[in-house]
A and B are shown apart, each in its own frame.
Chain A
Amino acid sequence: MRSFKAIFKKQLKDTIKNPAILIQFIIFPIIAFVINHLVTNMYGVTEEALANMPNQVTMQAGIFAGMGLIMVPMGIIAEDMDKKSLRFLTMAGVKPMSYLLGISGVILVAALCSSLAFTVIGGFTGMDFWIFLAAMMSGVVASIVLGSTFGLLAGNQQAASALSFPAAVIIGFGPMIAQFSDDVARVMHVVYTQHFNVIADYLNFGVSDAPLWHSFAIMWGNVAVLLVLFALVFRRKGIVG
């Protein structure tokens, strides 16, 4: 618990002072706000047309949860491994799990703040507010686990960047590409970002092909599979670097 608290505080201070990480939590809600504002105030757009448009906020929120947040834990872990800070922590007696939970805890709190911003900008209230927040946090948890796995695999910042970008683009933009290709849609059907979109579509248009719990189950199934993957990589590669 002492180690977890120490890592959590360290990461909180570091995140506040690290623009490259901090921007990930700020930029997506800002983009969502700007685009939402522009679309809803577009000259000549009718109420009916607006109602049929996809919600820009959920689109940005999906990219944030599916893409931005993969890069955050990966960047943090790779930097700590690269600069050998992690070596000093583990040699001081910090258990790998305390380190990872401390790092993830800060990302989770920051992502919760961003998610709340998305819900406010998107105007979700009542039950929709909770459904949206639950979908966001499910995606966030999956992305943190995936990002941490990539962080362990990469081991240094350069390799982390090389790994992160294509993976984040595929997972983040996959649901959009799936709209134009049945083959991609079949693959994306088992990926958590696709089901974030399914839930978002339900919130936007009030319709869904399957019950919502089905999408939540797949998202948390993703989390379980990713945790197993993480454990395998962790056993093979360790964390010291």
Chain B
Amino acid sequence: MTSVSMKNVQKSFGKNHVLKGVSFETQESEIFGLLGPSGSGKTTIINILTKQLGVDDGECYVSVGSNEIGLMLEHDGLFARLSCADNLHVFREIYGMPRKNVDEVLKKVGLYEAKKTGADKLSKGMRQRLVIARAILHKPKILFLDEPTSALDPVTARGIYKLIHELRDGGSTIFLTTHNMEEATNLCDRVVMLHDGKIIEQGNPKEICERYNAIKTMHDLESVFIQLTGGGLK
């Protein structure tokens, strides 16, 4: 069943035409990756799907209401002076969840020991995990993750990959953006490659690699992207 879809979506900011007829759809319980370099329109798509932005033309669809969506956006939006647990309790109360959910989710992201630590005292990786904890606190049906492992060390990133797989296995649809092609290859069930506001390729990452013979050397979506666009990702 379709979880999220866009049909021929156009979006401009002034003279800057950011999305030029973007169409795709994601299915339930899949990890869907939106790939592209900085400025390709990934965050704009997330902002549109989460109703922070409107579209100029085209249609978009999200199968669930806002209280069944989990978000991890560009800005963490944490309450800096509140502890990890208190940050989560604010949202637990808004969603009407039991208190024990906070401890459970803190254990899941490995922050239980730091539950009384202020958000402003956390390392970048710990903050990222707290943001994920907040995003999954209410067991959302769809989870939007904007660059979930950017600037994280490999060990923390692996922990987050594991968590994302667990959430998918639990029935959630994961919609993530990244410019890390290795991450996309290992993590995503399906990807869409975005370049200059247009979709240039989509499908299963390994199948895309095979299609472009990149698999002969390695599972390398980046070389496919370079072959298609003539440019790098960063």
Contact = CB atoms under 8 A, between A and B. Distances in A.
Given A2-B93, A2-B96, A10 B79 contact: yes
B75 interface: yes
A9 B82 contact: no
A225 B132 CA distance: 43
A150 to B, nearest CB: 21
B77 A93 contact: no
Nearest to B78: A85
A87 B77 contact: yes
Contact of A83 (B71, B75, B95): B75
B82 A91 contact: no
B67 interface: yes
Contact of B93 (A5, A87, A91): A5
Given A2-B96, A5-B93, A87-B73, A92 B82 contact: no
B109 to A, nearest CB: 17
B79 A92 contact: no
A13 interface: yes
B77 A10 contact: no
The size class of the interface chain A forms with chain B is 20 to 34
B94 A3 contact: yes
A87 B46 CA distance: 14
A240 interface: yes
Given A9-B93, A240-B52, A84 B79 contact: no
Contacts of A176: none
Contacts of B82: 10, 13-14, 17
A30 interface: no
Contact of B81 (A7, A18, A91): A18
Given A6-B90, A17-B82, A92-B95, A85 B67 contact: no
Contact of B86 (A5, A10, A88): A10
Q: Which secondary structure dominates chain A's binding surface?
A: helix
Q: A10, A85, A92, A93: which has the most chain B beta carbons within 10 Å?
A: A92
A88 B66 CA distance: 11
B81 A88 contact: no
A178 interface: no
Contacts of A84: 73, 75-77
Nearest to A8: B93
Nearest to B51: A91
A93 B80 CA distance: 21
B77 A92 contact: no
B91 interface: yes
B5 interface: no
A94 interface: yes
B129 interface: no
A227 interface: no
Given A17-B82, A88-B134, A6 B94 contact: yes
21 contacts: A3-B94, A6-B90, A6-B93, A7-B90, A9-B89, A10-B90, A14-B81, A17-B82, A83-B75, A84-B73, A87-B77, A88-B71, A88-B134, A89-B90, A92-B91, A92-B94, A92-B95, A93-B67, A93-B95, A94-B94, A240-B52
Given A86-B77, A88-B91, A91-B50, 11 more contacts: A2-B94, A6-B89, A9-B89, A10-B79, A13-B86, A18-B81, A83-B77, A84-B75, A91-B51, A92-B91, A92-B94
